[in-house]
Amino acid sequence: MALQRIHALLLLLLLTMLGLVQPSYGQDRMYQRFLRQHVDPEGTGGNDAYCNLMMQRRKMTMRQCKHVNTFIHEDIWNIRSICSTTNIQCKNGKMNCHEGVVKVTDCRETGSSRTPNCRYRALASTRRVVIACEGNPEMPVHFDR
């Protein structure tokens, strides 16, 4: 997991130095946040223990328990390829969303836990997701639904 993240960062750095990718600081920060919150290519997910561990490990239980989060179990290149599909409308009305079918684990807070000991229920599936993409080339920056 960490090795894949390092490889992705090194590739992004190399492409940036070659001038093939020119992310703005804000877009890069949003992309990194997307990776931290939603991408786990090595994971299989599917159970409550997975959600409890990953939500804490990915720092989504520090100030308060994040109510809902989705982890995508696909290679980052497969996720980035969703950005090349037809634009659709996001929940906020913008037209920078794209949809694709991926393996996911949805983590839902049980409602009875308190930070930092947040507790989650897991649901693993293969389903349609919608992500917002920005930049040139477009990269995922927000999990819309």
Catalytic residues: 38, 142
In three state form, how does the secondary structure of the chain look?
A: CHHHHHHHHHHHHHHHHCCCCCCCHHHHHHHHHHHHHHECCCCCCCCHHHHHHHHHHCCCCCCCCCCEEEEECCCHHHHHHHCCCCCECCCCCCCCEEEEEEEEEEEEECCCCECCECCEEEEEEEEEEEEEEECCCCEEEEECC
